């Protein structure tokens, strides 16, 4: 790939980019009156300009109709959650029956494990990533304890080989094969939050099923970032948040996926609520829970309309662009960043700069996790002081995520220049 480090090259790439105009649909924070170089869409996506109008619509309904807003207005709230189903299903490659938007991510992890982590004396283990996002660690440990097991006996952690920075695919499959007979659940992130490694979910699901286990994914760093085909991959369940790559605002709602083959299994244990009850009977207020078919049957509460309205604004943008076009740009944009980081590594070998994200585009989303031993913190502070918003993880990792919806090749080129100046200043 022949790239160039120059601003003029980056601007040529932007001029040729069919998605470049989507940048105008987002609000950028300012640094010295200029838009920042924003690389933390993996933590909190930028605000779509359309969000205010979507919220205003629901405020207007509340103002105008009060309780009748459940039946009146452009989006009667009684059916509000249904507005999300097809759009969210397209983002994750699912049937509408398999998806619902509700609650928050960690809440949903628990609800889904209640149904899909059913340990028995022979089969009680959970295979997960070592160093998973803390909320997932706490959720899984507490589920294991809830069933009367100790985390040390019941949790199998996948860790990179000594001296390596991310997991080998074959090692994941080998662990599943080795532990399979005792494994109740294989539960990984689709994309690891720290290294940015994208797992081969189709293969992992196949291996998990071959071993007789249930397979679920936390897609917090995958939804809206990489192409997903949850239905075809035969994944049992998944959940994700909407405030990272899905740009739906702080604490935005979560989505869940439950495969079609579990859609009509009313015997699956679950923690139930009235919104998961058969909607034809819901308002008869009778005893005897009968779940809605599909993911909708996991709902507890009526929709949190004000928290969900920004998600609808964002999903409408995703629907218009489509994941294939986003991914195609993402591969180019992150490919450019990866090449620029190679140039820095070659220019400043003494800095120790290296990237722990897999090089193969099929094994990563848009994020690059850059290690800078010793000078990392100083470099990060230099970036912040110079209008770059990146993410710092102890002890020495800077995570940056060029998001194809609103980041430009110029953003990436400027990141390179500012990073280069920071390394020079701190060497």
Ligand X SMILES: *Cc1c(COP(=O)(O)O)cnc(C)c1O
Interface contacts to ligand X, rule CB under 6 A: 104-106, 133, 135-136, 189, 193, 218, 220-221, 241
Q: Are 316 and 48 in contact (CB under 8 A)?
A: no
Instruction: Report in angstroms how near the CB of residue 228 gets to ligand X at its nearest.
Output: 15
Residue with Cβ nearer ligand X (105 or 215): 105
Instruction: Report in angstroms how near the CB of residue 41 gets to ligand X at its nearest.
Output: 12
| Helix-, strand-, coil-residue percentages of the chain, each rounded to 5 | 45, 15, 40
Residue with Cβ nearer ligand X (187 or 296): 187
Residue with Cβ nearer ligand X (189 or 255): 189
Q: Which residues of 53-81 are buried (b: 16+ CB within 10 A; e: fewer)?
A: ebbebbeebeeeeeeebbeebebbbbebb
Our CA angle for 362, 364, 369, nearest 5°, is 150
Residue with Cβ nearer ligand X (10 or 102): 102
CA distance 102 to 71: 20
Instruction: Report in angstroms how near the CB of residue 221 gets to ligand X at its nearest.
Output: 5
Residue with Cβ nearer ligand X (105 or 317): 105
Q: Tell me the CA end-to-end span of the chain in Å, nearest whole number.
A: 29
To which residue do tokens 């006996």 refer? 153
- Report residue 382 as tokens: 């230099």
CA distance 416 to 427: 16
Residue with Cβ nearer ligand X (71 or 138): 138
Instruction: Report in angstroms how near the CB of residue 408 gets to ligand X at its nearest.
Output: 25
Q: Which residues of 181-197 are buried (b: 16+ CB within 10 A; e: fewer)?
A: ebbbbbbbbbbbbbbbb
CA distance 206 to 251: 33
> What letter would DSSP give residue 316?
H
> What letter would DSSP give residue 268?
S
Residue with Cβ nearer ligand X (180 or 196): 196
Instruction: Report in angstroms how near the CB of residue 316 gets to ligand X at its nearest.
Output: 22
Instruction: Report in angstroms how near the CB of residue 197 gets to ligand X at its nearest.
Output: 13
Residue with Cβ nearer ligand X (75 or 221): 221
Instruction: Report in angstroms how near the CB of residue 136 gets to ligand X at its nearest.
Output: 5
Instruction: Report in angstroms how near the CB of residue 218 gets to ligand X at its nearest.
Output: 5
């Amino acid at each position: 790939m022949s790239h160039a480090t120059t601003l003029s090259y980056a601007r040529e790439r932007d001029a040729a980019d069919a998605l470049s105009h989507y940048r105008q649909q987002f609000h950028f924070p300012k640094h010295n009156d200029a838009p920042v170089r924003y690389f933390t869409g993996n933590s909190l996506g930028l605000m779509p300009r359309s969000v205010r109008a979507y919220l205003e619509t629901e405020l207007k309904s509340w103002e105008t109709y009060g309780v009748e807003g459940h039946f009146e207005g452009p989006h009667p709230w009684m059916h509000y959650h249904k507005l999300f189903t097809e759009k969210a299903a397209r983002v994750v490659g699912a049937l509408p029956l398999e998806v619902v938007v509700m609650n928050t991510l960690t809440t949903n992890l628990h609800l889904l494990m209640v149904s899909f982590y059913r340990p028995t004396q022979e089969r009680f283990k959970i295979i997960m990533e070592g160093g998973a996002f803390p909320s997932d660690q706490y959720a899984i440990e507490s589920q294991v304890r809830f069933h009367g097991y100790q985390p040390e006996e019941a949790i199998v952690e996948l860790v990179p080989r000594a001296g390596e920075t991310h997991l080998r695919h074959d090692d994941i499959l080998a662990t599943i094969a080795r532990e399979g007979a005792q494994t109740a659940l294989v539960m990984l992130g689709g994309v690891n939050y720290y290294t940015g490694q994208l797992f081969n979910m189709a293969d992992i699901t196949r291996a998990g099923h071959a071993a007789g286990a249930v397979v679920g994914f936390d897609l917090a760093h995958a939804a809206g970032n990489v192409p997903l085909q949850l239905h075809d991959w035969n994944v049992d369940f998944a959940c994700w948040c909407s405030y990272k790559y899905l740009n739906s605002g702080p604490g935005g709602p979560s989505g869940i996926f439950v495969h079609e083959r579990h859609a009509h299994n009313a015997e699956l244990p679950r923690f139930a609520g009235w919104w998961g009850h058969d909607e034809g009977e819901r308002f008869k207020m009778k005893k005897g829970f009968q779940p809605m078919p599909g993911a909708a049957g996991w709902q507890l509460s009526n929709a949190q309309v004000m928290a969900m309205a920004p998600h609808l604004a964002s999903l409408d943008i995703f629907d218009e662009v489509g994941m294939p076009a986003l991914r195609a740009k993402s591969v180019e944009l992150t490919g450019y960043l990866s090449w620029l980081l190679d140039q820095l590594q070659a220019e400043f070998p003494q800095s120790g700069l290296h990237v722990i994200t897999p090089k193969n585009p099929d094994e990563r989303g848009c994020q690059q996790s850059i290690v800078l031993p010793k000078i990392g913190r100083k470099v990060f502070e230099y970036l912040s002081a110079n209008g770059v918003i990146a993410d710092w993880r102890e002890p020495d990792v800077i995570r940056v995520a060029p998001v194809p919806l609103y980041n430009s090749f110029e953003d990436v080129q400027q990141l390179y220049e500012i990073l280069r100046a920071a390394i020079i200043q701190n060497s």
